[in-house]
A and B are shown apart, each in its own frame.
Chain A
Amino acid sequence: MVSNVTYIANIVHPVQLGVLIAIYFFYTGLSAGSFVLSSLGTVFGIQKYKPIAKAGVVMAVSLLAIAPLHLIADLEQPQRFYTLFFRLNLHSAISYGTFLLTLYPLNSLIYGWFLFRKDLAKGAKELTGFRQSLYKLLTFGKTDLSEAALAKDTKIAKFLGTLGVPLALMVHGYTGFILADIQSRALWHTGLMPLIFLMSAMVSGTGLLILVLMFSQRFLSPERSLTPERKALILDISQLMMWFIVVDATLMVIDFIMLYFTSAAGHFAAQLFLYGSHRTMFLGVEVVLGLLIPFVLMLLPRTKRSLGWISIASFLTLLGVIAMRINFVIGGQQIPLSGDTLNPYTVDPKHLIFITLFAISELTILYLAFRILPVYGLLKAKSAPDLYQKEALSK
């Protein structure tokens, strides 16, 4: 190829899908990841993960309640978003996504209700005040606590969970597919993209679940403490996270080797991320901070048993996965299709405001859900001797 070619005139093609879309991918990833972890106990029958089933589903539902708002906020004609439901195009990935994004949270919500019903019904009987009336309302009149009714709950939850796992994988696989589907963008157009998105979803989902478990069990559970069993479970999940990181990193290595030898645009994409201006965001934040350091922390015997280090590792995976979403969504569009310079991207301040508002509402929903709902069971009622003793002492 001749090298002495100079561009004299061309027009600018700015990046169109920006940070709102990247953060949306981050949320769906978190949701899918936490749902799969929730299903480990209920669907796959691994007993030790039973205690996190409810925490996982609360996260999955609340994250997917907020995620699509990012998409609507990113539309130029947000008031027309509902047409997505009936003006279908069977060739468009987004058309499928519309229904996945509706079915998956609904299924998770019903699945969650069957997990919660026992505690809600118990609470409606035993508690007093605001929680009692709320729990009573939430049972929708189904307060049967017999063995048979509870066994039926478990069975239905297992069925809905079994339905939910492929849905969760599809919801997040589809976000990767939305990019992989685009033949014009070299960085995106690979069959590995849905898998990479899925694995990074597992990594970040586990990361957030660990942080949420630590905080909610310590401050919002009836026991208000990280009991030894809970600590052991968190250590166990953090080891899962390490293996998710291994798979994610492996896929990433394969992807970049393929990219390097695929086409001129693919080669340039790999160059840009490994040597060029995106190096800090990719190698620095996404790979070293987001994958390598958490992996090492979860590998070393000294750090893998410390809750402090585990929380740092979990936080870093979240940071790394946010970086990954931004790198792939925006970086993928910056590679020129018809010019000789990177396509420019400027952040719309309005989008940043939306992201902040959505993040605040997400945290509020999570806090309220863990505070109000019986995620970790009900507070044990004080036994009669306790009360008697207290009365005697006060006399």
Chain B
Amino acid sequence: MAEKKKRWAMVIDLRRCVGCNACTVSCKIENNVPEGVFRSWVKEIEKGDYPEVTRFRLPRLCNHCDNAPCLAACPVQATYRTEDGAILIDYDHCIGCKYCMTACPYDARFLNPIRKTAEKCTFCYHRIQEGLLPACVTTCVGGARVFGDINDPESLVAKLVANNPVQVLKPEMNTEPYVFYIGADQNIMGARYDKLEKGEK
């Protein structure tokens, strides 16, 4: 069998996530992300009524989709895909039309208020090129974030995806995300409109 091309992926094992936001902070420091915007963040919800209550966390980042809507939307080819599957932005060619930000179903993109271009998580591409792990992965205290080449059957990500029930965000969008979650609660994975509908009425 011919060796498959490298495909970076991340598995986030939510059973190990404690919601400490170390990933959020390390990402900000590593990538010099300005105030008020985030490449990676942690959503948190509470489900149930006292005493039967549980907290669920959902670390978020760019899904580096195989069928990425942002890649299709960019009118100047500033968004591109690397050979190993990561979606990156060429900041020297981004015109800041913000079309990609409306196209992303995951709210992963934002406007960098200083550089004045689109921006998002790069899987810390500058680090993984050097053989390091993304900053959020190295800093994760519970070891919830696992990163690697999903096409390599020996890698931990490939094993975790093969041996666990995994979920991706909004599979109905047909984006084929490469960030997999283990143990994600359905109520935190998308948007919720019930409170809004009640309040709006």
Which A residues are within 8 Å of any B CB, using their own CB? 1-11, 13, 16-17, 71, 74-78, 80-81, 83-84, 87-89, 91-95, 98, 178, 181-185, 264-265, 267-268, 271-272, 275-277, 333, 335-342
Assembly CA distance A9 to B48 (angstroms): 16
Residue pairs across A and B with Cβ atoms less than 8 A apart, 22 shown, are A2-B48, A6-B45, A6-B46, A7-B44, A7-B45, A9-B19, A9-B42, A9-B44, A13-B107, A75-B96, A76-B96, A87-B78, A87-B93, A89-B74, A183-B103, A184-B103, A185-B102, A265-B191, A271-B197, A275-B200, A276-B197, A341-B196
Partner of B72, one of A6, A74, A77, A89: A89
Which residues of chain A have C-beta atoms less than 8 A from B44's C-beta? 7-10
8 Å CB interface, B1-52 against A? 19, 38, 41-49
Assuming the A-B contacts A337-B106, A337-B107, are A7 and B95 also in contact, with contact meaning beta carbons closer than 8 angstroms in the complex?
no
Given A1-B194, A92-B72, A338-B190, also A75-B95 (CB < 8 A): yes
- Return A270 CB to nearest CB of chain B, in Å: 10
In the complex, identify which listed stretch (B109-117, B125-133, B144-152, B159-167) lies at the interface while the others stay far away. B109-117
A84 to B44 alpha-carbon distance, docked (Å): 40
Distance (whole angstroms) from the CB of A67 to the closest CB of chain B:
15
A71 to B95, CA, bound (A): 11
CA–CA, A80 and B90, complex, Å = 13
Known contacts A16-B98, A80-B96; 12 additional CB pairs below 8 A are A1-B187, A2-B47, A5-B45, A13-B107, A71-B97, A80-B94, A92-B73, A268-B196, A336-B196, A337-B105, A337-B191, A340-B192
B142 located at the interface, meaning its Cβ lies under 8 Å from any Cβ of chain A in the complex: no
B168 within 8 A of A: no
Closest to B173 in A: A183
Instruction: Please tell me if the beta carbons of B49 and A4 are within 8 angstroms of each other in the complex.
Output: yes
- Collect the chain A residues with CB atoms within 8 Å of residue B155's CB: none
B49 CB contacts on chain A under 8 angstroms: 4
A17 in contact with B76 given A77-B116, A338-B106 (CB within 8 Å): no
Question: How many Å lie between the Cα of A178 and that of B69 in the bound state?
Answer: 13
The answer to whether A76 touches B191, judged by C-beta atoms less than 8 angstroms apart, is no
CA distance A342 to B200 in the complex (A): 10
The closest CB in chain B to the CB of A268 belongs to B193
B60 to chain A: closest residue by CB: A338
Tell me whether A76 and B75 are in contact (CB under 8 A): no
Instruction: List the B side residues contacting A10 at CB < 8 Å.
Output: 41, 43-44
A246 to B193, CA, bound (A): 32
Q: Residues of B at under 8 Å CB distance from A? A: 19, 38, 41-49, 55, 60, 69, 71-78, 93-99, 101-107, 110-111, 116-117, 173-174, 187-188, 190-197, 200-201
The reply to whether A80 and B95 contact each other, CB–CB distance below 8 Å, is yes
Closest to B195 in A: A340
Give CA–CA (A147, B48) in the complex, Å.
Answer: 85
Q: How far is the CB of B81 from chain A (nearest CB, A)?
A: 12
Bound complex: CA of A340 vs CA of B75, how far in Å? 31
Q: Which residue of A lies closest to B190 (CB)?
A: A338
Shortest Cβ distance from B115 into A: residue: A76
Partner of B102, one of A77, A81, A333: A333
Question: Is the Cβ of B77 less than 8 Å from the Cβ of A89?
Answer: yes
Looking at A7, A9, A87, A339, which has the most chain B CB atoms within 10 Å of its CB? Answer: A9
Q: Which among B19, B117, B193 is the interface contact of A76 at CB below 8 angstroms?
A: B117
Flag if A98 contacts B69 (CB, 8 Å): no
* Residues of the A chain whose Cβ atoms lie less than 8 Å from the Cβ of B104: 184
Please give me the 8 A-B residue pairs with the lowest Cβ-Cβ distance, nearest first: A76-B96, A276-B200, A184-B105, A94-B75, A268-B193, A91-B72, A9-B44, A16-B98
Contact A268 B197 (CB under 8 A): yes
Contacts A87-B77, A338-B106, A340-B191 given: A74-B97 contact, CB under 8 Å?
yes
CA distance A181 to B45 in the complex (A): 31
Q: Which chain B residues lie closer than 8 Å to A276 at the CB level?
A: 196-197, 200-201
| Cα A268 to Cα B71 with chains together (Å) | 28
In the bound assembly, the distance between CA atoms of A75 and B173 in angstroms comes to: 27
Complex alpha-carbon distance, A335 and B76, angstroms: 27
Q: B97, A75: Cβ atoms under 8 Å?
A: yes
- Please measure, in the bound complex, the distance between the C-alpha atom of A223 and the C-alpha atom of B197, giving whole angstroms: 58
For the complex formed, measure the closest distance between the CB of A351 and the CB atoms of chain B, giving whole angstroms: 13
A2 to B45, CA, bound (A): 13
Tell me whether A5 and B200 are in contact (CB under 8 A). Answer: no
Q: How far is the CA of A83 from the CA of B78 in the complex (A)?
A: 10
A8: which B residues are within 8 A, CB to CB? 44-46, 55
- On chain A, the residues within 8 Å of B55 by CB distance are 8
Q: Return A160 CB to nearest CB of chain B, in Å.
A: 28
Q: How far is the CB of B39 from chain A (nearest CB, A)?
A: 11
Q: Are A81 and B72 in contact (CB under 8 A)?
A: no
Q: Could you tell me if A9 and B43 are in contact, using CB atoms closer than 8 angstroms?
A: yes
How far does the Cβ of B179 sit from chain A's closest Cβ, in whole Å?
13
Q: Is the CB of A76 within 8 A of B95?
A: yes
Contacting residues, chain A, for B48 (C-beta < 8 A): 2, 4
Bound-state CA distance A200–B148 (Å) is 51
Q: Give the residues in chain B near A264, CB-CB below 8 Å.
A: 190-191, 193
Closest B residue to A81 using CB positions: B95
Please report the C-alpha to C-alpha distance between residue A6 and residue B49 in the assembled complex, in whole angstroms.
Answer: 10
Q: Specify the chain A residue showing the minimal Cβ separation from B75.
A: A94
Q: Which residues of B contact A1 (CB under 8 A)?
A: 187, 194
CB distance from B193 to the nearest CB of A (A): 4
Query: Are A11 and B41 within 8 A (Cβ)?
Result: yes
